[in-house]
Amino acid sequence: MNTPASRWPAPTLSARDGALWLEELPLAEIAARFGTPTYVYSRAALAAAFAAWQDALAGRRALVCYAVKANSNLGILSVFARLGAGFDIVSGGELARVLAAGGRADKVVFSGVGKTRAEMRQALLAGIRCFNVESAAELEHLDAVAGELGVRAPVSLRVNPDVDPKTHPYISTGLKGNKFGVAFADAPAIYRRAAALPNLHITGVACHIGSQLLDRAPIAEAAQKLRDLVEHLAADGMALEHIDLGGGLGIRYRDETPPPVAEYLAPLLEVFAGRAEELCFEPGRSLVGNAGLLLTRIEYLKPGETKNFAIVDAAMNDLARPALYDAWHEVVEVAARTHAPSTYDVVGPICESGDFLARERSLAVAEGDLLAILSAGAYGMTMASNYNTRPRAAEILVDGASAHVVRERETVEELFARERTPG
């Protein structure tokens, strides 16, 4: 079998006697109990990833807000809530999930370019920590909603520093051509407008330049720009309570070399050394990406003239990243086999040529074998769909030798339970 990469905190994922284990459970046992395809997460890996951020920020006034969009399962959110995390949300639905999982509203920051008035009302009534406002128009809407409720809305302005994050263009958010945030040059004027609105309370400033960041230089450049803005605002009489530097730290999928959390944060902490404002961070992928895998079974092996296909029961509706970004996920045999390895494209049963999970992988497998698709904890289940009327996968959280069902597998009947035929 292929050897799982060392990206997982030991002994989270390991090969024992030719079989793949997650914590203290063999993956084959999980498949036998819960079926496939199934997302499987490690509680130990989640805790270790969060501890890396906490340890790197020890001694600093800081708050780590998990970016819910990466993986919004209630079981995952509950783990982070118990560890003391805050939460970064981008919808009213994500706020409802955080509260249902035991998260504190006063540790929630609400980002996103298209907040509706209903979502603003929901968040104000819940008492969230802050709105990361992303346009001048949003300020006006938020002021009106807060006025209707007789409250003052806490706001930060998300500024766009026009820094190239050197990542995939679909997950770049800090360039002036992106839809996110307000132009850096416009920020002082928009802050003055916010200060003049009666139902807003300015609490901070925010910045997020993109996801899967591997180079510290871009975020350090953005941080310096943010400090210059903070000092400019202070000169205008606007003292801030917090500075939100976003998330974005990447993980290893294949051969990437992301810096350790402490090294990633070091230049940012240096830029803001000696300042009294609380520092906020919004990691998502770096907390959950390598804490989860997608377990799938081979239905057919199909040799061809130019390609061999391993057709599995998972598909692009379960894991969209390969089709959407041409993303690479390591594929590992769950049990060692005596077959000679061959090169396969790992594909699903969906009626699309873009339905692939991995291309040109050397695998020693037979029909019926299990595969683990690694690094699937982030943007896996949250981006899943029911295309081809396929029920979404089950989700399992492993804690030592225990396996907890944190989401039951959907049934086909549930998929059309809200549909009606005409009379």
Does residue 164 sit in the same domain as residue 254? yes
Domain assignment of residue 304, yes or no: yes
pLDDT, residue 174, reads 41
Is position 378 within any domain? yes
Whether 186 and 219 map to the same domain: the answer is: yes
Contact call for residues 31 and 334 (beta carbons, < 8 A):
yes
Residues 29-65: tens digit of each pLDDT: 999 999 999 999 999 999 999 999 999 999 999 999 9
Q: Has 299 been labeled as part of a binding site?
A: no
Average pLDDT over residues 244-263: 92
Q: Which residues pair with 243 in a beta bridge?
A: 205, 279
Q: Let me know whether 274 and 127 are in one domain.
A: yes
Q: Are residues 310 and 346 in the same domain?
A: yes
Q: Are residues 242 and 300 in the same domain?
A: no
pLDDT, average across residues 323-345: 91
Q: Annotate the chain with three-state secondary structure.
A: CCCCCCCCCCCCEEEECCEEEECCEEHHHHHHHHCCCEEEEEHHHHHHHHHHHHHHCCCCCEEEEEEHHHCCCHHHHHHHHHCCCEEEECCHHHHHHHHHCCCCHHHEEECCCCCCHHHHHHHHHHCCCEEEECCHHHHHHHHHHHHHHCCCEEEEEEEECCCCCCCCHHHECCCCCCCCCEEHHHHHHHHHHHHHCCCEEEEEEECCCECCECCHHHHHHHHHHHHHHHHHHHHCCCCCCEEECCCCECCCCCCCCCCCHHHHHHHHHHHCCCCCCEEEECCCHHHHHHHEEEEEEEEEEECCCCCCEEEECCCCCCCCHHHHHCCCCCEEECECCCCCCEEEEEECCCCCCCCEEEEEEEECCCCCCEEEECCCCCCCHHHCCCHHHCCCCEEEEEECCEEEEEECCCCHHHHCCCCCCCC
- Segment 374-406, tens digit of pLDDT: 999 999 999 999 999 999 999 999 999 999 999
Q: Which residues contact 200 (CB under 8 A, 6 or more apart)?
A: 139, 142, 143, 146, 152, 153, 155, 194
In a domain, 124, yes or no: yes
Provide the percentage of residues in the chain whose pLDDT is more than 90.
81
Do 164 and 239 have their domain in common? yes
The verdict on 384 and 302 lying in the same domain is yes
CATH number reported for the structural domain that contains residue 328 in this entry: 2.40.37.10
Closest CA to 370 of 45, 12, 29: 29
283, 317, 352 - which closes a domain: 283
Furthest CA-CA distance within the chain: 73
3-state secondary structure 380-405: CHHHCCCHHHCCCCEEEEEECCEEEE
Q: Which of 259, 283, 307 is the last residue of a domain?
A: 283
Q: What is the pLDDT of residue 92?
A: 98
283 assigned binding-site residue: yes
Q: Is 102 annotated as a binding residue?
A: no
Query: Is residue 282 a known part of a binding site?
Result: yes
Residue whose tokens read 């040799």: 303
Whole-prediction pTM = 0.93
Q: Is 259 annotated as a binding residue?
A: no
Confirm or deny that 292 is annotated as ligand binding.
no
| Number of domains the chain contains | 2
Quick one: 125 and 139 in the same domain? yes
Residue 67 inside a domain? The answer is no
- Is 72 among the domain residues? no
Q: In what order do the strands lie in the sheet with 19-22?
A: 13-16, 19-22, 25-26
Amino acid at 374: L
Average pLDDT over residues 323-337: 92
Residue 333 lies in a domain: yes
pLDDT of residue 10: 47
308/273 same-domain check: no
Asked whether residue 138 is marked as a ligand-binding residue, the answer is no
Residue 248, annotated ligand binder? yes
Q: Which residues lie across from 296 on neighbouring strands?
A: 371
Q: Is pLDDT above 70 for 336?
A: yes
Q: What local confidence, expressed as pLDDT, does residue 122 receive?
A: 98
322 plus 201 within the same structural domain: no
Banded pLDDT at 423 (limits 50, 70, 90): confident
Per-residue pLDDT, 160: 86
Interval 105-163: pLDDT, tens? 999 999 999 999 999 999 999 999 999 999 999 999 999 999 999 999 999 999 988 77
- What does residue 368 show for φ and ψ, rounded to 5 degrees? 95, -10
Residues 141 and 277 reside in one and the same domain = yes
Is 331's pLDDT higher than 60?
Answer: yes
* CATH number of the domain bearing residue 118: 3.20.20.10
Whether residues 295 and 203 fall in one domain: no
pLDDT in tens, 181-224: 898 889 999 999 999 999 999 999 999 888 788 878 888 888 88
Which domain covers residue 385, as residue numbers?
13-42+289-415
Q: Annotated active-site positions, please?
A: 351
Last residue within a domain, chosen from 283, 316, 331: 283
Q: Does 285 carry a binding-site annotation?
A: yes
Q: How far apart are CA 56 and CA 62, in angstroms?
A: 10
The answer to whether residue 61 sits within a structural domain is no
* Residue 171 resides in a domain: yes
